[in-house]
Structure 1
Amino acid sequence: MKKLAVFLNERQVGVLSQDRSGLLEFQYDSVWLDDRRATPLSRTLPLQDTPFKGNEARVFFAGILPDEGIRHQVASILGISERNDFVMLEHIGGECAGAVSLLPMDTVPVPESGATRPLDRQELDRIVKLLLQRPLLAGESGVRLSLAGSQTKLPVIKQNDSFALPLGNTPSTHILKPEPERFPGLVDNEFFCMSLAKEIGLKVPAVSWLRIDMTPCLFVERYDRVTDSNGVVQRLHQEDFCQALGFPPERKYQQEGGPLLRDAVALLRDWSTLPAIDILDFLEGVIFNVVIGNADAHGKNYSLLYSNGERRLAPLYDLVSTIMWPELSIVPAMKIGQSSSINRITSTNWQKMANECRIGWPMLRNRINEICRKIKVVLEQGELIESSNDQKIAGYVSATIEERVSM
């Protein structure tokens, strides 16, 4: 039986094991269960003495790992099977989303100040170039990093204009997202959409833009990391909606059997400590994604954040106008009233969604009108285009959204 120690920050909370047949099992540590302040790893992994086996254990832990092509690349580089969640976590589970990390048994986590590798500009250039061929720097000595998603990205430590690579299970502060060759303009697109969301009052992490080795890169400040008064980076735990609802990562899209919008609203109604606020914030995020033309807002692109005994909707992330690339699907990842196209969503679709989610249609209609009004005001000012790094791309995205908001 192979085993990994599972930590939340510096506390061991349990053990993940894999038997010879490949079956996963997670068992909470008795000391953790006896702690009155103990919190569960996931809504689907409540605190209990009995172990979670098979798919019960897999959903949360597989959800930590990268998706699709990135997962395949990482597995090829490491010489392991892409289907073996345990072995992949063994290699790259040191610094993950939220406060969880997986380490060899009897390993003591590094202090939060941790081990790092400073990156000068030359080394940063090398890292970005390497990252496009070696996702998450898989196989680099001392590097054990994992982030969910299908886009190339890397956890880094960024302080002002200096950068470092976290080693072992040292917490990072930002996510570096270099522009993939397949999607030119993605960085400027996401920078514009994230900035627009912030301007109209939606909760989003801070983003910045930097060209590294001629590659546009987006730096996203991690909302699941906070810096205390002593300057020490602390982790906050989180899980995405797929993990919280019990959907494996390969079922993140509704049309593949993944979560529906009504599942997401029901999750917040049942699990959030402030459901009324979080449901409204979630609905505004859904509206915003429709208006900008983001058909990829699936169950792993919304998350819950756990902090100070509260369970709250995390800030919005991965806001991109996906209709900029005609080859991408226009089917909404979570459908609005069974709509089959992000470009053809009517008031009838919205009203049906309201009924399915058990929310008032007048309230939803007012939020749609208000979000559209705010977006229109910001776009008419033109300041987001002027502050963008590539004004041509920003102008195109702006014009596309402006046309949609007037529909």
Structure 2
Amino acid sequence: MARELEVWLFAERIGTLALIEDRLNFRYSPDWLSRPDAATLSSSLHLQAESFDDHHTRPFFGGLLPEGQLRRLIAQQFQVSSQNDFALLDHIGGECAGAVTLLEPGQSLSSPGQGDDVQWLSEEEIVAILDELPHRPMLAGKDGVRLSLAGTQDKLPVVSDGARIGLPRNGSPSSHILKPAIRTLMDTVTNEGFCLALAEAMQLKPAKSQVHSVLGRQFLLIERYDRVVDAQGQRQRLHQEDFCQALGVVPEMKYQNEGGPDLVQCFDLVRRITRPSAPQILRLFDYVIFNALIGNHDAHAKNFSLLYAGKSAILAPFYDVLSTAIYPTLTPKMAMKIGSKYKFSEVQTRHWDQFSEAVGLGKAQARKRILALAKSMPPTARELQSSREHGFAGHAVVEQIVILIEQRCALTVRRLSAPAADMEDETVL
């Protein structure tokens, strides 16, 4: 017998997710398909009366869930298989990325007037949650809490009004994402906070973030770009999906070297889905350059998203921006190739040209933009580091990031300024 969950988009029931003989199946509801304003759940799940099989369904729905050890711990909490996407979504699919909510048949989504159920937390309770997250990701199983975010890092959807932090309950939308430190790496909160602030200073429109400290414990509070406050003061969801979901790629295939999307596929997606696409293409190009120059080697396809407004889409703000290259225990390989190279130290002028041409940009235009960013980023990073307003001065991890940026930018400027003399013997982090 099939088990079912009703799939809601915004405040509308749009279809049914079913588990049939251990395989996922999604079908849009006839009522939704009959509406002139019906929108697709994903660019990989086009509007159609026929149901989608497991192969087509799992990339989107599996892509809503945490990954790796977080997923295994959540499965243990509910005594289900970590491979059972349906069971996990049944337990934690109440507040997901975008405007998606999954409910048991017969349940209804909270109306806007009811959608402000928040458990406000004391400082002691916040610290207790920071201690609990490594063992109980997403606070799985906590009464009234059904929260899910993709990724392998501890994080938690929360509500913040600027003065308080709380847990969204019973289907209430969150407003922020709380990201604690990665325990095995040095000062990741400051690292990501600095990189996001640098992206903002470079006018790259990242997700807005702020480093917080409660009773001596640091965490990053990131404003959700897929949540807005309406004229009545109610939080509302905006729909989004990451590039793997949009391309129909399951989460475990997110890295290019495992068969996942490459940069050409990412740019083709943006060109196909967004209108007008040219500004979005240039923004994505900037994101790729920025990631390379700060040493964010983990910029895979799930770290880029599309944000939907009605039936149109734009590139979502920059997020998950961490300088991984400063940590010697992490891989020196980038998640996606530039040209034919995974290692930044091996990226020559010809590889930037290969990349630019492959994604449909002229070489001259692309080189000009790469050089502009490589020349302006080091002084901008130093200015941000020394700014009293941001509080990054004196942090060893920030100094490491700035030095790495200076090295990578200097190398890039030299190589692009003298393209005929590719310098194979230079080394850089």
TM-score scaled by structure 1?
0.97
3-state SS of paired residue (2:345): coil
Correspondence for 2:119: 117
Correspondence for 1:227: 229
Report if the CA contact (8 A) 1:252-1:298 is conserved. Answer: yes
The worse-fitting range, judged by mean Cα deviation, of 386-395 and 77-86 is 386-395
Q: What is the CA distance between 1:163 and its match in structure 2?
A: 1.4
Correspondence for 1:13: 14
Report if the CA contact (8 A) 1:132-1:180 is conserved. Answer: no
Correspondence for 1:161: 163
Q: What is the CA distance between 1:133 and its match in structure 2?
A: 1.9
The worse-fitting range, judged by mean Cα deviation, of 233-242 and 388-397 is 388-397
**Distance verdict in 2 for CA 1:138–1:343, change over 3 Å:** farther
Q: Indicate yes or no: 2:51 matched with 1:51.
A: yes
Correspondence for 2:33: 33
Correspondence for 1:403: 407
2: distance between equivalents of 1:149 and 1:36? Answer: 35
1:318-357 to structure 2, matched below 5 A, reads 318-357=320-359
Report if the CA contact (8 A) 1:95-1:168 is conserved. Answer: no
2: distance between equivalents of 1:107 and 1:94? Answer: 11
Q: What is the CA distance between 1:111 and its match in structure 2?
A: 2.3
1: distance between equivalents of 2:175 and 2:107? Answer: 23
AA partner of residue 329 (structure 2): E
TM-score scaled by structure 2?
0.92
Cα deviation, 1:20-76, whole Å, max 9, x if unaligned, reads: x20111010111111111100001101111111111111110000011121112112
**Distance verdict in 2 for CA 1:93–1:382, change over 3 Å:** closer
Cα deviation, 1:257-304, whole Å, max 9, x if unaligned, reads: 000100011111111122101110000000000000111000000000
1:253-402 to structure 2, matched below 5 A, reads 253-383=255-385, 386=388, 387-389=390-392, 391-402=395-406
Residue in structure 1 matching 2:239, options 237, 240, 264: 237
Q: Between Structure 1 and Structure 2, how many residues are aligned?
A: 406
2: distance between equivalents of 1:348 and 1:62? Answer: 38
3-state SS of paired residue (1:334): strand
The worse-fitting range, judged by mean Cα deviation, of 177-186 and 249-258 is 177-186
Question: Mind listing any 5+ residue stretches in structure 1 that lack a counterpart?
Answer: none
2: distance between equivalents of 1:260 and 1:370? Answer: 24
Q: What is the CA distance between 1:144 and its match in structure 2?
A: 0.5
The worse-fitting range, judged by mean Cα deviation, of 302-311 and 79-88 is 302-311
- Which runs of 4 or more aligned residues in structure 1 lie more than 3 Å from their structure 2 counterparts after TM superposition? 382-386
Q: Indicate yes or no: 2:76 matched with 1:72.
A: no
Report if the CA contact (8 A) 2:207-2:225 is conserved. Answer: yes
Taking only aligned residues, the RMSD between alpha carbons, in angstroms, comes to 1.3
Cα deviation, 1:326-381, whole Å, max 9, x if unaligned, reads: 11111111110121313332211111112222221111111101111221231343
Q: What is the CA distance between 1:116 and its match in structure 2?
A: 1.9
AA partner of residue 193 (structure 2): F
3-state SS of paired residue (2:7): strand
Q: What is the CA distance between 1:382 and its match in structure 2?
A: 4.8
1: distance between equivalents of 2:189 and 2:387? Answer: 14
Q: What is the CA distance between 1:168 and its match in structure 2?
A: 2.5
3-state SS of paired residue (1:201): coil
Q: What is the CA distance between 1:138 and its match in structure 2?
A: 1.0
3-state SS of paired residue (1:398): helix
2: distance between equivalents of 1:60 and 1:279? Answer: 23
**Distance verdict in 2 for CA 1:184–1:385, change over 3 Å:** farther
3-state SS of paired residue (2:302): coil
Correspondence for 2:100: 100
- Identity of matched residues, %: 39
2: distance between equivalents of 1:345 and 1:36? Answer: 49
2: distance between equivalents of 1:399 and 1:22? Answer: 51
2: distance between equivalents of 1:55 and 1:203? Answer: 34
**Distance verdict in 2 for CA 1:186–1:364, change over 3 Å:** same
Report if the CA contact (8 A) 1:93-1:102 is conserved. Answer: yes
Q: What is the CA distance between 1:392 and its match in structure 2?
A: 2.5
Correspondence for 1:204: 206
Residue in structure 2 matching 1:191, options 190, 193, 215: 193
